[in-house]
Structure 1
Amino acid sequence: MSKWEWKKLGEVYDFTRGLTYSKKDEVESSSNCILRSNNIDLQTNSINLDELKYIKDEIDIPQEKYVRKNTILICMSNGSKAHLGKVAYIDKDYDFAFGGFMGLLKPKCEINGKFVHLYLCSDEYKNFIKSLSDGANINNLKFDDLRKFEIPVPPLSVQKEIVARLDILFENVKRLEANYKHIIADCDELKKSILKKTFEGDSRSSWE
């Protein structure tokens, strides 16, 4: 079996903090789109583009403030501790920047970002984040703390294999969830039908 290593996050990833801007810089629409905390779905740990924020076109956004393929977007500050540290894997280059309460993990070496992202969805990571904010009114993360989190680093071929297998398993889970929802919907319709026949049937005329 290929040897696995354990490395601190800071050994394999650089950290870039998001773009800071003022409220007066915000506009209804422009070519400068900003991703914020609400653009990471807490349940799926993926990018959600439903609510986008725009700032003035005159603002020159540095290239390092844009999300790029094989990076990981992370929530560094939030009013709710439940959202603190949530992550999303960036699977392609976006013409979107990320805001000041966010951070971007950029690989220093050849590594499968999706593999790392999956580990950052684990209970080990969530418990680590919880330990940083427990016992105090802390709603901000520091990369100096995050960089100490240890992640498994197997050979690249093993990383890719694990990601491929988990993708298949997660697709099966989605399929089961869809079937379950369909069954629940059918059951609801059946209950409604039974109630309708019971209380609106021919026997009703003989009731007192």
Structure 2
Amino acid sequence: MAELSGVSVPRYAWPTQPLGSLGRWTGGGTPSKAQPDFWADGTIPWVSPKDMKVSVIAGAADLITEEAVRRSSAKRITAGSVLCVMRSGILAHTFPVAVTSVEVTINQDLRALTPREDVDPGYLAHFLRYSGRDILLTCSKHGTTVSSIEASRLDKYAVPIPPLNIQRQIVARIDELFSDLDDGEEELARAGADLATYRMSLLKAAVTGDLTSDWRAATPPAKSGADMLARILADRKSRWMSDPRNARKRYAEPTAPDPNHLPSLPAGWTWASLDQLSWAAGYGTSQKCATDGTGEPVLRIPNLRDGSVYLSDLKRSLVPLDLSESDYVAPGDLLIVRTNGSDNLIGRAGIVSAPLATPTHYASYLIRFRMTGDSARWRWIRAFTESAVFRASVLANIGSSAGQYNLSMSKLAAFPIALPPAEEMTIALDRWRAGELSFDIPATLAGSGALRQSILAAAFRGELA
């Protein structure tokens, strides 16, 4: 077996040749934007890295004119050429390659190889995609601001070249198998949309009592949601009264939800507000944050997903915040997005379910409610804030000012949360989790990508011809 920069092929079947010898290379250029006649009413595709998300280039987002070709560095590239991205941030992880089905021009961040007559462009493109990771490893420039490929190294990259008829057989077989994968991925995408709808319906059934109606009929609970709420309110008041800082203060009863605008609940359930279910609430820091900040970690909107708090992409304040222990987030803290330029993000929530290894604060565009209770109740509140019922409250109370959407703390405090009896709460959460399909669409799609690489590997081992 011959080693081709990490790619193994049968030496006796497929002799190798340097990539640079397989045809004619052409570079690209950008016609002057100051020349309107280069761009106005253009008809010639001008391909840049943003167009290289497909395997076949039949057009481009930008078009230039015949005048631009005559008077600029942009050159015509014939159909059947192989385009490679040579300079772009995407080269940090992917080496985009595409074949042109029409005549195009390219910008300076691409190179085009018009293959010799004995080299099939589809075969060459498939091989370069298969070898993409190895090309990035062996041909990348180092020390540049933007990821780049060294042209002289790429020219020397070894490519196995079987006879033309074998190349075409390989391309036909790869295309056939990839077409089957494309069909499967389209089905997965449709299934993903159906699955999202199913999960939201299942969640709504859980938080409105529909999912446990049979259990409720067969097992009437000894204590109701109203009983639970009474205990919560008593514990809340006792906690407040025992705090020395409140010695000379008067206890303010929490805001209750407005019963005039709430749907009916199953027997034994009751409505409670976020204010009633929490013992404190407040805003976070407005201090700017950065990846290389020297202060405390600060939770931001990207850290709130699917009702949970994630620590990926965690940034720190630029300076230490001089916080007390109570300022740091702790298990049971519910964080809700209160202001943002996108209304889709308003009301996004995440609850801290376990202690964080490092003392961590939160940003000022989040509101923190410190929830009473234990992990079972926190799981319920997490589920409820992910439901369409909670989202309806958000949409009914959202405001806007100066291009920003917002939710005030007073409105959030009154948000209703359906509270079932403790035993039924556990049953509902267990059924919701059990009822959710475990089929992981993103992971399956990632597996499809790995299967494509396996097909290409088999092709260049000579197993598909």
1:60 aligns with 2:67: no
Structure 1 counterpart of 2:161, from 142, 146, 153: 153
Question: Residues 71 and 196 (structure 1 numbering): CA distance in 2 closer, same or farther, change over 3 Å?
Answer: same
Q: Does structure 2 conserve the Cα–Cα contact (< 8 Å) formed by 1:15 and 1:103?
A: yes
Offset at 1:139?
3.7
1:36 corresponding residue in structure 2: 48
Cα distance in 2 for partners of 1:10, 1:58 equals: 28
Structure 1 counterpart of 2:136, from 119, 129, 139: 129
2:455 corresponding residue in structure 1: none
In structure 2, the gaps of 5 or more residues are 1-9, 214-264, 271-465
Structure 2 counterpart of 1:154, one-letter code:
P
What TM-score, normalized to structure 2? Answer: 0.39
Q: Deviations over 1:163-182 (max 9, x none)?
A: 11111111111122122222
Offset at 1:20?
4.3
For residue 24 of structure 1, give the secondary structure of its aligned residue in structure 2: coil
1:185 corresponding residue in structure 2: 193
Q: Aligned-pair RMSD on alpha carbons?
A: 3.0
Larger gyration radius, structure 1 or structure 2: 2
What TM-score, normalized to structure 1? Answer: 0.80
1:7 aligns with 2:17: yes
- Percent of aligned pairs sharing the same letter: 22
RCO higher in structure (CA 8 A, sep ≥6): 1
Aligned length: 202
Q: Does structure 2 conserve the Cα–Cα contact (< 8 Å) formed by 1:114 and 1:163?
A: yes
For residue 120 of structure 1, give the secondary structure of its aligned residue in structure 2: helix
1:205 aligns with 2:214: no
Q: Deviations over 1:23-78 (max 9, x none)?
A: 3135353235421121111xx4443746214368465169x922322210122222
Q: Does structure 2 conserve the Cα–Cα contact (< 8 Å) formed by 1:34 and 1:98?
A: yes
Cα distance in 1 for partners of 2:66, 2:163 equals: 44
Question: Residues 199 and 28 (structure 1 numbering): CA distance in 2 closer, same or farther, change over 3 Å?
Answer: farther
1:17 aligns with 2:17: no
- What are the residue-to-residue correspondences of 1:25-104 with 2, within 5 Å? 25=35, 27-41=39-53, 44-47=54-57, 49=59, 51-54=61-64, 57=67, 60=70, 65-82=75-92, 85-90=95-100, 92-94=101-103, 96-104=104-112
Q: Does structure 1 conserve the Cα–Cα contact (< 8 Å) formed by 2:45 and 2:60?
A: no
Q: Deviations over 1:87-138 (max 9, x none)?
A: 1111x233x322222211011332111001000001x343223323264226
Structure 1 stretch displaced more, 4-13 or 187-196: 187-196
